[in-house]
Structure 1
Amino acid sequence: MDALWMPALLAVAAFAAGVLNAIAGGGSFLTFPALVFAGVPPIVANATSALAVSPGYLGSTLGFKAELARLPARRLRNETLIAAIGGMAGALLLLVTPAHVFRGIVPWLLLFATALFVFGPWLAGRKPILDGKAHPMERWRPVGLMAVAIYGGYFNGGLGILLMALYTVTGERHLHTTNALKNLNSLVLSLLSVITFAVAGAIAWGPAILMMVAATAGGYAGAHWSKRLPIAWVRGVVIATGLVMSALFFWRG
């Protein structure tokens, strides 16, 4: 790709990713492929993409600070610790994955993330038991959180949907609390995975800084546009993007 076009491609992809993440999620469907098409090796592209979209998690977490303040401190400590360990473990798993193996599974990861986005509303809409008793699946929440955090550290696509689904099916009764925990754990595991990538030298810093700025601007714009754009239309764009990117990566082998 022409070097003159590369920064423009990455900036546009990151801006659009910030918009999508603010409205419906799915921004990594744009940032990761853009980096790969710009010539960044897939593992480095995945690490750089994770850093590029990470600022949005902080803003989202701060937006739910009241909901988090109402939760027991012990629960928050335990769950964020699990998310941190899982995020670091996923990042380390990515770093020891041979490049040719990761290239081979990328299309499947993109397809899996797209499927999560398609079925996300159904998964997140599962109703917990509301009879005042402990949910029978609640004891499995730490195990599920660790698995999701490892996935998120390894490949960020569909992370928010997985966390929403996990908390819903394990008995979290309030949507705002579910959203708050999703944002907090996304922030923590992404932070630890990005630190791991940075220490290992797996981040392309030039593209990362450019894309972080563009993604932040896109998130700001998306927060305003979200009140005007039909959510069904935006979801359709994200799903189509995920399918097209999956097809392209399958075609590239």
Structure 2
Amino acid sequence: MTTLGQATTLLSAGIGAGVLNTVVGSGSLLPLTAMLGLGFGPVPAAIAVNVGLLPGGIAGAVGYRRYLPPDGRLLVTLTAAALVGAMLGAGALLVVPADAVSGAAPVCVVAASILVMVQPVLHRRPARGAGCGHAVPSPSATGASQPPRPAEPTLAQHSVAVTATALLAPPTVAAPPPPRRRRWLVPAVLAASAYGGSITAALGIVYAGALTAALGSAASLHTVNAIKITLCGVVSVAASMVFVVTDAVPWTPTLLIGAGTLVGGWLGAIAGQRLPPNALRGLLAATGLASASYFTL
């Protein structure tokens, strides 16, 4: 029986998780810590958090959908990889000790945080042949004058526009990564999704690191965030199906967390789009490093 205090704790943790997961990632640490603090075991806690994150993931994905790349094939491929990986990870959680799965968490999160921070240096120049919605050819290469390169969305641009109406705005144009960078992106998403299907903590940071390294200048950081949120939602759907079919879901805490993440995901979509790219990048990396510290304590 869940008391009022326990319900409030789980609902609040869910709201915080929804906001953090949409903006940066690692929000799942809040309800996971709350569940463990209330006396739940690590496996039931991980299952409740994984399923409970689903409403927030959907709300965040809707809020960021206008930043998704128009390359449907890329998104379908990454979604398929996320589905397969998440189901494998969810199945592993039911048969493998949780400690064996979570041991790789700090390494993955630290590596991803570093990739997010060094992305501007790694991709200062667009890759040759990249079909890029943001990059334009130089005037000397075309012999004609070109329009200026569009700037990243700024705080001023979003301070009024990002409202409930803005969440339903039509998609903007973003670009796919160069083909040679896609080769390792799909395996990376598959592996990250397997981790997310079991111990979902900091999955957004891991996705963000892989996506920023692969997409580079072919997409803005908000586009990376949109893909990351979508893939996290896919992982929650796939893992939830496994846990529901196997009757492994502790429903009361899961529903409380889910209600919180639904509200938090919507709020996070508004807040995240107001952040300038450099601030968002710094927040991603800082949250990732803090998450890695949590796992090692």
TM tier, smaller: 0.7 to 0.9
1:84 corresponding residue in structure 2:
83
1:250 corresponding residue in structure 2:
none
Mark the runs of 5 or more structure 1 residues left unpaired by the alignment: 248-253
1:243 corresponding residue in structure 2:
293
Q: CA separation in 1, counterparts of 2:107 and 2:118?
A: 14
Return the offset for 1:34.
0.9
- Give the structure with the larger helix fraction: 1
- Quick check: 1:216 aligned with 2:224? no
1:180 corresponding residue in structure 2:
226
Q: CA separation in 2, counterparts of 1:28 and 1:235?
A: 16
Secondary structure at 1:54's aligned position in 2?
helix
Is 88-97 or 117-126 further displaced after alignment?
117-126
Q: Percent identity among equivalent residues?
A: 25
- Quick check: 1:131 aligned with 2:131? no
1:115 corresponding residue in structure 2:
110
Q: CA separation in 2, counterparts of 1:48 and 1:132?
A: 44
Equivalent position amino acid for 2:116 in 1: P
Change (3 A) 1:240 1:87: closer
Equivalent position amino acid for 1:89 in 2: L
Return the offset for 1:161.
2.1
Number of residues of Structure 1 aligned to a counterpart in Structure 2: 240
2:141 corresponding residue in structure 1:
none
Q: Is the 8 A contact 2:14 2:30 kept in 1?
A: yes
2:42 corresponding residue in structure 1:
42
Q: CA separation in 2, counterparts of 1:224 and 1:129?
A: 29
Q: CA separation in 2, counterparts of 1:49 and 1:25?
A: 14
Change (3 A) 1:191 1:41: same
Q: CA separation in 1, counterparts of 2:76 and 2:271?
A: 35
1:154 corresponding residue in structure 2:
198
Return the offset for 1:146.
1.2
Q: CA separation in 1, counterparts of 2:48 and 2:236?
A: 11
Q: CA separation in 2, counterparts of 1:139 and 1:237?
A: 28
Equivalent position amino acid for 2:12 in 1: V
155, 168, 184: which one aligns with 1:140:
184
Q: Is the 8 A contact 1:114 1:243 kept in 2?
A: no
Q: Which has the larger radius of gyration?
A: 2
Change (3 A) 1:145 1:244: closer
Q: Is the 8 A contact 1:120 1:161 kept in 2?
A: no
2:242 corresponding residue in structure 1:
196
Structure of higher RCO (CA pairs closer than 8 Å, 6+ residues apart)? 2
Q: CA separation in 1, counterparts of 2:182 and 2:284?
A: 33
Return the offset for 1:41.
1.6
Q: Is the 8 A contact 1:93 1:154 kept in 2?
A: yes
Secondary structure at 2:128's aligned position in 1?
coil
Equivalent position amino acid for 1:57 in 2: G
Taking structure 2 as the reference length, the TM-score comes to 0.67
